[in-house]
Amino acid sequence: MTVEPVLTFADVIIVPGKAPVEPGMVRLETSITRSHRVDIPLLSSPMDTVTEVRLAVLLARIGAVGVIHRNMTAEEEAEMVRRVKSADPSPESEVPLVSSLEEAIEAVKNGVPAVLLKGGERAIVLPEGSDYQTLGVKAELLYQLLDQGVRPSVDEQGRLLVGAAVSPFDVNRAVMLEKAGVDFLVIDVAHLHNVNALEALKNLRRNVGVEIIAGNIGTKEAVLDVIQALDGEVGGLRVGISSGSICSTGVVAGASMPTLTAVIQARLALEELGLHGSIPIIADGGVRGPGDAAKALIAGASAVMAGRMLAGTLESAAPIVRLEKGRFKVYRGMASRGAMERRYASDRYSRPSKRLEEGVEGLVPFEGSAVRVVAHLYFGLQAALGYAGAGSIREAWEKARLAKVTPIGLQEIKPHDIILT
Ligand code: XMP
């Protein structure tokens, strides 16, 4: 028996390298599956407090992509996919760009903010009673992203891209989602490296033609087995086990593969097969912000998947809860008691195979629009890759380096010796 060392995001830092361009010039365009490319390397987690139509539409309009959760009937999930596919792809549907005050007043009647362009200056017009921190900031940052050249994530026909979660055992649902026009399926099990799950995935693959992101997995062996099971027809790999903010698998079952190490493992396996760069690695779980995301990308990922980062936003699938201390949103693991009960009630095919809770449920602070989170990620990633000496994600794979820090060293990296006000 050997005990292998693993690394989490907090264990490493990005080594500064010679930057080829200014951070504002860093391009973040990437692949999320073998055939789909997007401008922002972000997928939202398929979780019932995170991704439904509202968030999926917004994310695709601003260059990222959403993955619809599966905690509902197959018909309902397919209907959500159809709604995203038929939505207007223009980012201006979120925040209309107008040239007169009359048009702005007309636009805000629909409850959306508007941007009034006059003499090269942009002014933000808000609906009565709305707060600037939510809709005003959304309007401002949305146009800052567009200024960067970020385009909506769309298919060949110009419709918004969307993914949808499915269990490997649920062929009916996969077929329905494909018929609804889903762009890619995301296999949604905690541990795909299991003989029954792999056999089921093989069978599911035979029944659909759409691309499949397979996961979750965390080791080199698992990557090799998944690729073998699918005869190389893998759309992408979803890696990381039990690093998620709401995961309790690591505590309950003692099993875990931190997302950063899972990415490194997947990269090693793909490099061995000559497939790194053609099968995207999606780093899933524990990504708290642009710093973690940059580390995942440098390690070899093509994009990150995030639940917590988007859970507190206006557009997430949970309602706003008002407490004395402020506004919050519910966020829960898909293997938490509440989520499992909903699944059990809604779809017998999705019935959990185990009754063990491996997730927690709680509240996260309300954080305004998801545009703010995406913009923060975008500009933060540009800065991080700039420091790393890379002008693109591909260049980061080739040139950028990570280094290990000691737990004591971490104290120095964070703000210290100051009382924060
Ligand atoms: P973050 O850190 O972004 O992680 O909130 C989201 C990812 O966590 C996984 N997930 C779970 N893992 N128990 C787990 O062990 C759960 O109940 C659970 N629910 C979600 C999932 O991979 C998600 O994308």
Cβ-contact 213, 33 below 8 angstroms: yes
Structure confidence by residue, pLDDT tens digits, 20-35: 899 999 999 999 999 9
Dmax of the chain from CA atoms?
73
Q: How far apart are CA 285 and CA 301, in angstroms?
A: 13
Q: How is residue 339 written in tokens? A: 């989520």
Structure confidence by residue, pLDDT tens digits, 216-264: 999 999 999 999 999 989 999 999 999 999 988 888 888 999 999 999 9
Structure confidence by residue, pLDDT tens digits, 262-289: 999 999 999 999 999 999 999 999 999 9
* Catalytic position from the list 61, 205, 247, 372: 247
The pLDDT value recorded for residue 354 is 60
Rounded to an integer, the average pLDDT of 326-353 is 80
CA of 94 from ligand 1 middle (Å) equals 28
Q: Give CA separation, 291 vs 68, 319, 402, in Å.
A: 26, 28, 12
Q: How is residue 155 written in tokens? A: 């298919």
Looking at residue 234, what DSSP letter applies?
-
In Å, how far from its chain's centre is CA 359? Answer: 18
The pLDDT value recorded for residue 7 is 96
Q: How is residue 416 written in tokens? A: 């210290």
Query: Is residue 377 scored above 90 in pLDDT?
Result: yes
Verify whether ligand 1 is closer than 6 Å to residue 338 (CB atom): no
What's the chain's average pLDDT? 94
pTM above the 0.85 mark?
Answer: yes
Q: How far apart are CA 197 and CA 252, in angstroms?
A: 21
CA of 8 from ligand 1 middle (Å) equals 16
Q: Within 13 Å and on the Cβ side, how many CA atoms surround 18?
A: 1
The pLDDT value recorded for residue 346 is 65
Residue length of the chain: 421
Q: Which residue has the higher pLDDT, 349 or 185?
A: 185
Cβ-contact 79, 102 below 8 angstroms: no
In order, the DSSP letters of 30-99 are: EESSSS-EESS-EEE---TTT-SHHHHHHHHHTT-B-EE--SS-HHHHHHHHHHHHTS---GGGTS-EES
Probe target for ligand 1 pocket from 47, 186, 239, 247, with the most ligand atoms within 8 Å of CB: 247
Structure confidence by residue, pLDDT tens digits, 11-21: 999 999 999 89
Active site residue 348: yes
SS (H, E, C) 368-418: CCHHHHHHHHHHHHHHHHHHHCCCCHHHHHHHCEEEECCHHHHHHHCCCCC
Q: How far apart are CA 77 and CA 72, in angstroms?
A: 6
**What residues does 332 pair with on adjacent strands?**
361
Rounded to an integer, the average pLDDT of 63-67 is 98
If you take atom 24 of ligand 1, which residue's CA is the nearest one? 45
Q: How far apart are CA 335 and CA 310, in angstroms?
A: 18
The pLDDT value recorded for residue 233 is 92
pLDDT band per the 50, 70, 90 thresholds, residue 417:
confident
Rounded to an integer, the average pLDDT of 359-383 is 97
CA geometry: angle at 309 spanning 419 and 88, to 5°? 135
Q: What is the CA radius of gyration of the chain?
A: 21
Cβ-contact 241, 189 below 8 angstroms: no
Residues 6+ apart with CB under 8 A from 174: 166, 185, 204, 207, 208
Rounded to an integer, the average pLDDT of 70-90 is 97
pLDDT band per the 50, 70, 90 thresholds, residue 137:
very high
Q: How far apart are CA 408 and CA 401, in angstroms?
A: 21
Query: Is residue 349 scored above 60 in pLDDT?
Result: no
The pLDDT value recorded for residue 352 is 53
Verify whether ligand 1 is closer than 6 Å to residue 246 (CB atom): yes
Looking at residue 133, what DSSP letter applies?
I
Query: Domain segments of the chain: what residues?
Result: 9-89+157-412, 97-146
pLDDT band per the 50, 70, 90 thresholds, residue 189:
very high
The pLDDT value recorded for residue 289 is 98
The pLDDT value recorded for residue 350 is 52
The pLDDT value recorded for residue 1 is 84
Rounded to an integer, the average pLDDT of 337-349 is 75
Verify whether ligand 1 is closer than 6 Å to residue 336 (CB atom): yes
CA of 208 from ligand 1 middle (Å) equals 26
In order, the DSSP letters of 237-306 are: EEE-BS-STTB-HHHHT---B-HHHHHHHHHHHHHHHT-BTTB-EEEES---SHHHHHHHHHHT-SEEEE
pLDDT band per the 50, 70, 90 thresholds, residue 351:
low
**What residues does 38 pair with on adjacent strands?**
30
pLDDT band per the 50, 70, 90 thresholds, residue 411:
confident
Verify whether ligand 1 is closer than 6 Å to residue 358 (CB atom): yes
Active site residue 238: no
Verify whether ligand 1 is closer than 6 Å to residue 313 (CB atom): no
Query: Is residue 385 scored above 80 in pLDDT?
Result: yes
CA of 244 from ligand 1 middle (Å) equals 4
Fold annotation for 9-89+157-412: TIM Barrel (3.20.20)
Q: How far apart are CA 99 and CA 224, in angstroms?
A: 55
The pLDDT value recorded for residue 115 is 95
Relative to the CA of 357, which ligand 1 atom is closest?
17
